[in-house]
Amino acid sequence: MTSDAAQDSRVAALADQLSREYDYRGIAELEQEDPERAQEHRDAAQALLSWIVECPREERQAAFWRGYDKGRERQKARTAEDIQRLEADVAELRQDRDPEALRARIADLQYLNRGWERRMRGTTAGQSETADLLRRLEAAQRELAELKGVQPSNATGLRPS
């Protein structure tokens, strides 16, 4: 095979590759459907092939690795930014959100409620009598508040006064 024949086969292979990349079909099929477009691929292949042949292999590899390294550095930077953003999100989620010490107030009210229930249930005669007196006192306070038109603070009965 002569050098012209070898170069022609390289041009044809490169034109076919360009045709497949840009038009999603081989150069032979493109030649039947759109001969002008096929000729554009052949011209581009002829121009690129001379440049590719002149470019030494080491230079092509060096250009590839420069691009690869630059892309890897960009990806590392993006990954670092993503990690910082995710760590900030995790820190935000782990923050103790307790406005106005609400959890402590709930715990205090639960403690008072348990104590109130123990007192109201009463197991001895004295405790039972105390519980009865407290119920009557609470009822009297509510009746007095209704008569005065004032809503008592424990009208729901959820917390002791």
**Element of type H or E holding 110:** helix 102-121
Contact 161, 152 (CB under 8 A): yes
pLDDT exceeds 60 at position 12: yes
Rg (CA), the chain: 43
Task: Report pTM.
Answer: 0.34
Sorting pLDDT into bands at 50, 70 and 90, what band is 59?
A: confident
Distance in angstroms (rounded) separating the CA atoms of residues 8 and 1: 11
pLDDT exceeds 80 at position 64: yes
Mean pLDDT of 118-143: 69
| The two structure tokens encoding residue 111 | 């403690």
Nearest CA among 87, 75, 17, 70 for reference residue 48: 17
